[in-house]
Structure formats: structure tokens, C-alpha cells
Amino acid sequence: MYDVLIVGGGPVGACAAALLARGTGGPGLSVALLEPKPPAPLAAGAALEARVVAVSRASERTLISAGAWPGILGPRLCAYERMRIWHESVSPTSAAALVFDAADVGEPNLGYIVENRLLQTALLEAFTRSGGHIEPAQLLRLRIGEAAVEVETTHGTFSARLIIGADGAQSAVREAAGLAAQVGTYGQTAIVATVATARSHEMTAWQRFMKAGTLAFLPLADGTSSIVWSADEELAPGLMAASDADFALELDRASDLALGATRLVSPRQSLPLRRLRAPRYVARRVALIGDAAHVVHPLAGQGVNLGLLDAAALADLVLAASAGGEDPGALGVLRRYERWRKSEVALMSAAIDGFDRFLAHGTGPLARLAQQGLSWVNNAPELRRLFIRRALGMSGELPRAAR
Ligand SMILES: Cc1cc2nc3c(=O)[nH]c(=O)nc-3n(C[C@H](O)[C@H](O)[C@H](O)COP(=O)(O)OP(=O)(O)OC[C@H]3O[C@@H](n4cnc5c(N)ncnc54)[C@H](O)[C@@H]3O)c2cc1C
């Protein structure tokens, strides 16, 4: 019988597990984690992987609180100092391109580009170092009782006072607990790859909004860049089928040669993009975090960042409830988590969908207004600083681990 059982050891589940097992400012809880596919650690000197995420300052602080930062910090990590965002109707270097610079808010950088696998393994290691138990099992069934939840898995049966569903967009916990999900499509496929570029990335994340999607170049530590090309569904199959040389030519056209000519240095991966929103994040003794509760478009690089803050917020409330002698699985405790995070996530999802609808795909007066907005924000230092603080994740009510 555990205090908490977490289903899913992706970055979000592993972070919740490490925070709960360590305790923030008090003793930790007894925590087990189910992860059927734990990642193999990266060999020292291995080539950088194409699947990366941009983590914000709030996420960096959460990862420090979880004890995972020393495992991430090192030569594979790349800090990015600015973002350059432009619409296809203007050139990347024109005054109409929006530039967010960390120096504008007195920060050394806007965040870091981290490989997914490095993030996940560092968090899982931090969890086991804090005395947590990882079971390489898959959830089969849940039975929610008065005092505990019984969890049937491929490796036996466990029980816990609280189950956290961190098992991604296809969450089995969400379904077993009878929690609904509203799923929609963006009509786009993300193509991810690592590319070498003729010009330096200048520690900058570059993003171009186009009628047929968005294209981002995220800077990597070895001077290459990871691209995320969210291409309309009609365009994506052709881009995936093209030879490496033809794909690079298409990429040069789509990037307007912002970083000069490109060359592929990894295979391409394609991921269909969906949006997902669970109207309820909690039920008695069950809470959903990360992609199990919400999936957003990758254009703003916020999926993991939102999920890590879910993990930190839930850990705050559950640890406080436990320290006060309350049942950590009580619906009252979990509803506080839902109220806190649902409103923050709704705000961010609406902004992201607005960018996709008006900046990337839009036509007509509203789209023109949004495109014009990029240069207005660029010319309004106070407004620009406000957006930078949002991008750093340092706005809204922050959980203790992220402060
Ligand atoms: C192209 C692309 C680029 C992105 N870029 C960024 C970015 O720059 N910044 C950012 O913040 N976010 C980004 N994201 C979003 C980010 O990748 C996701 O939000 C993040 O991976 C969600 O983490 P998670 O731990 O909630 O879920 P997942 O990563 O999906 O992990 C779920 C885990 O649960 C396990 N699991 C599944 N089913 C079961 C079961 N039945 N029993 C037990 N375990 C189970 C799985 O094995 C998996 O390990 C991007 C997404 C895409 C597609």
C-alpha cells in the first residue's frame, strides 16, 4: 500500500514522483511509479537526439526542486537567449519580426533546449535516489474504493490512497476513472529532425508563421538545430517522402534561409498533432497531470512546461494535506489542484490556438491584425517584457517547487 501511485514515467509523471518522494519542506511520501518503457540512459558522447523540448525558467526551478537538474546540466544542454518570430509576409531580419531577448528582463537566458530522453532519465534517477520504486508495468484496471484504489497491472496488483494519471494523451487512467476527454485535430503533422545550418543559430529559437503551418529551429549545444515543422496534412506526406536533399531544399524555402542553407543530420520523424482537453482533471482518489489532462500545439513549446507545473502544484497540495493529517486522495484536496491548474492551462491553450489560427493559418482582417501585432509588440518594451515573463513561466500563481 503506497501513499501515491503514479501511472506513466514520462517527464511529467517522473517529476511528480520525484517531488512527492522528496517532499518540499517536509517529509516525502511513499511513492511507486508504473512505466512499461523506461528509457535506456544516453551513452556519454552519443549524438544529440532529434526529440527535444524547450524548458522555461519555472520548469528549470521545478527540476532543481525535484533533484533532477544536476543530471541534465552538462555539455548536451543548450541555453537559448532570444526568440525571433516572424510572419512569412516579412523577412526574418526586418523590424516587423518580433524579438524576445532575455537581456530585456535582465535574465541570462530564456530557458534551455533539452533532449526528451535526458529530461526523462534525469527525473527517473532523481526519483529512485529519493527512495521511490519504479515498476516496469502497464496499468490494466483500476478499482476505486472507500479508503484506497486497487490497481491491476501486467506485474501484479498494487494499492494506493491516490492514483496520478501521467500516462499521456491516450491515458488509461483517465478512461478507467470515467473522466472524459475532448479531442480535436489541428489538421497538421509535426516533422521533427536535426539539421546543420550554414549560419550560426546564435543561441536563438527561430519561428516562422506561414499559411501552411509553422516552422521552428531550436538551437542545440553542438551548433546544429532541431526543427519542428508543423505542416498542413496535405503537405506533410510529400515532405516525409522527399529525399534528404529535396527536403532540405523545401526547408530552405520555408525558412526563407533565415539560418542559411540546411542539411539533414538525422532521420525525419512525423507526429500527427491533436488537441485534447479533459473537462475534469480529478475524481475521488484520482488526478490527471500533463498530456493525460491537456495536449496543446507544440508551436509555443509549452506542453512539458504546463505538465511540470501541474506536477508541482499537485505535489504542493498533496504534501500539505498529508502533513496536516488529511487524506491525500480526498476529493477536496484534488479539486483545489483542478481549480488552480485548469484556469492556467485554459489561458495558455487559448493563446496557442489563437497563434495557430490567426498567425499561421489566418486570412482576412483579424489575421492581418495579428500579423501587425508582432511589430507592435516589438515596439512596445513594457508589453514585450510582459510576454517574456510569460515565456519564462514566471507569471500566475507558481507552486512552491517552481519559485
Ligand atoms: C513535435 C513536438 C514538439 C514539442 N516541443 C515541446 C517543447 O519545446 N516544450 C514543451 O514544453 N513541450 C513540447 N512538446 C510537448 C511535450 O512533448 C509533451 O507535452 C510531453 O511529452 C508530455 O509529457 P507527459 O509525461 O505528460 O506524457 P508522455 O511523454 O506521453 O509520457 C507518458 C508516459 O506514460 C507511459 N504510459 C502510457 N500508457 C501507460 C499505461 N497504461 N501504464 C503505464 N504507463 C503508461 C508511457 O510509456 C510514457 O512514458 C512537444 C510535442 C511535440 C509533439
Question: For residues 158 and 136, what is the distance between their CA atoms, to the nearest angstrom?
Answer: 13
Q: Would the CA dihedral through 141, 346, 123, 163 be positive or negative?
A: negative
Distance 11 CA to ligand 1 centre (A): 7
pLDDT tens profile 312-359: 999 999 999 999 999 999 999 999 999 999 999 999 999 888 888 888
Residue 84 pLDDT > 80: yes
Pocket test of ligand 1: the residue of 218, 304, 341 to mutate, having most ligand atoms within 8 Å of its CB, is 304
pLDDT tens profile 43-81: 988 999 999 999 999 999 999 999 999 999 999 999 999
Ligand 1 site, CB within 6 A: 7-13, 34-37, 53-54, 138-139, 166-168, 172, 190, 192, 228, 271, 290-291, 298, 301-305, 307
Distance 287 CA to ligand 1 centre (A): 17
Nearest CA to ligand 1 atom 30: 168
Atom of ligand 1 nearest to the CA of 166: 26
Using only C-alpha atoms, what is the Rg of the chain?
21
pLDDT tens profile 271-324: 999 999 999 999 999 999 999 999 999 998 999 999 999 999 999 999 999 999
Among 354, 89, 124, residue whose Cα is nearest residue 208: 89
Q: Which residue has the cell 501541474?
A: 310
Atom of ligand 1 nearest to the CA of 305: 11
pLDDT tens profile 227-268: 999 999 999 999 999 999 999 999 999 999 999 999 999 999
Question: For residues 151 and 281, what is the distance between their CA atoms, to the nearest angstrom?
Answer: 19
Using CB atoms within 10 Å of the CB of residue 113, give its burial: 0 to 12 exposed, 13 to 18 middle, 19+ buried: buried
Pairing mode of beta strands 82-87, 204-210: parallel
Q: Which amino acid is at 373?
A: G
Atom of ligand 1 nearest to the CA of 140: 41
* CA distances, 304 to each of 60, 168, 288, 319 (Å): 11, 11, 14, 22
Residue 55 and residue 119 in contact, taking contact as beta carbons nearer than 8 Å: yes
Task: Tell me the CB-side half-sphere exposure of residue 142, using CA atoms within 13 A.
Answer: 27
pLDDT at 379: 85
Nearest CA to ligand 1 atom 2: 298
